[in-house]
Amino acid sequence: MRYRLGPPLITATEIQARIQELATIISSDYADRDLLLICVLKGGAMFWADLCRALHIPCQSDFVAMESYREATSPLAEPRFTKAADVALADRDILIVEDIIDTGHTSARLRELLWAQSPRSLAMCALLDKAERRQVDTAIEYCGFIIPNAFVVGYGLDYAQQYRHLAYIAVLEGVLED
């Protein structure tokens, strides 16, 4: 099947404006707390970087990596975790920074993994929520945008490691979702 990049679904300007809004809310909610951002690599890296710079409070960061898609356009049945956090999570206020919540399997598994390390609090900040594909309930305390059931790329999201560099989010047309 051939794929074609569709027009922007969410523009770079819209993304940056929403990040500023989220940063203001998060900064207020976590004022005077020991905030640790856990960025989910690779897709969440651009969102994490812009969110960090927009926060009005001090915070620390660490990274986790997992494989959810490989070369496919639909999520794997069981996400594969490839890197755990390097810092102690006990008694920390943790905010997971994720690019997209799709079926919910990856975020639910990540929450389970992190809760096992006894943080004080654990919340999710996702740039995108593909709510109509949800198979597992998972809370998204800070959500950027709710999007339709389409395969999207750009601003960190990829297809076969392509399109991450785009400053906006677009639908990759010709991709069939399961």
Which of 102, 137, 158, 178 is catalytic? The answer is: 102
Yes or no: say if 109 and 92 are a contact pair by the CB < 8 Å rule: no
93 is catalytic: no
Task: Report the 10 Å Cβ neighbour count for 152.
Answer: 23
Q: Would you list the DSSP string of the chain?
A: ---EEEEEEE-HHHHHHHHHHHHHHHHHHTTTS-EEEEEEETTTHHHHHHHHHH-SS--EEEEEEEES-TT-SS--SS-EEEE--SS--TT-EEEEEEEEESSSHHHHHHHHHHHTT--SEEEEEEEEE-GGG--S----SEEEEE--SS-EEBTTB-BTTBSTT-SSEEEEETPPP-
Query: Which residues belong to the active site?
Result: 102
